[in-house]
Amino acid sequence: MKAAVYCGTQNLYLDMTVAAKSLVDHSDVDVVYFLIEDDRFPYYIPDYVKCINVFDQTYFDHNCSNIYENWTYMVLMRAALTKIFPDLDRIFSLDVDTIVKNDIDELWDLDLDGYFLAGVEEPKKTKSKKPYINMGSVIFNLKKLRDDGMDDKIIEALNTKTYKFAEQDCINELCNKHILTLPSLYNSNKFTEPCEDPKIIHFADDKKYRTRALYYQYQNMNWGDARKRL
């Protein structure tokens, strides 16, 4: 199954729909999951978009040291995807401030044998040939994470250590020997290498992304139009 996931607090629910419509418009994804913090999603979504309330999750305490002013417990949910989706072998995780603008179907067939995840490097944080991946657009090999027990190690580390960039730092630290690096066109943002024709735009650290033309385009596109390619 070709599955993707977004997560966010209530103030990000609209962004989730905008981002997901762009994904649906440029890939043959089967199911899109929204990890949310209550039982009511206020926007229309089609039946292939599933909402999961993770407010009562037990993996991380809401007072965890990796939850502070700029990060809610929602950012830690990527570290628990193996638990939330025990029947999936892999999942495509995207931030709510991403827009897919070109076809990315090739990502579904990516060979992840021997890798915990695949993503795009942040060059300034990559050291000694150990890639540091920006988590805005990542494909997780859930099966390997489970089989190797790495998912439990990541959850334990996030509950016992403090990281500057929460789950992103932790996952990079523990998985660094088994990360497949992708071209920056799959996560184009201010922290990754520039590219001329990106397939995924990530408005990382852009406080005005909701005013951008690309965001507005998908905000106003209905789900039916986004699904026409299928």
* pLDDT tens string 23-36: 999 999 999 999 99
Average pLDDT, the chain: 93
Position 191 confidence tier, pLDDT thresholds 50, 70, 90: very high
β-pairing verdict for 90-94 and 98-100: unpaired
Mean pLDDT of 200-227: 91
Are the C-beta atoms of residues 116 and 131 closer than 8 Å to each other?
Answer: no
Domains recognised in the chain with CATH numbers = 3-226 (3.90.550.10)
Position 146 confidence tier, pLDDT thresholds 50, 70, 90: very high
d(CA 144, CA 156): 17
What integer pLDDT is reported at residue 171 of this predicted model?
97
Six token digits for residue 142: 């859930």
Q: Element (H or E) spanning 201, and its range?
A: strand 200-202
Q: What angle do CA 156, 59, 62 make, to 5 degrees?
A: 105
What integer pLDDT is reported at residue 4 of this predicted model?
98
Position 228 confidence tier, pLDDT thresholds 50, 70, 90: low
What integer pLDDT is reported at residue 61 of this predicted model?
80
Counting residues of the chain whose pLDDT is more than 70, the rounded percentage is 97
What integer pLDDT is reported at residue 73 of this predicted model?
81
* pLDDT tens string 40-52: 999 999 999 999 9
Mean pLDDT of 171-187: 96
pLDDT of 151 over the 70 cut = yes
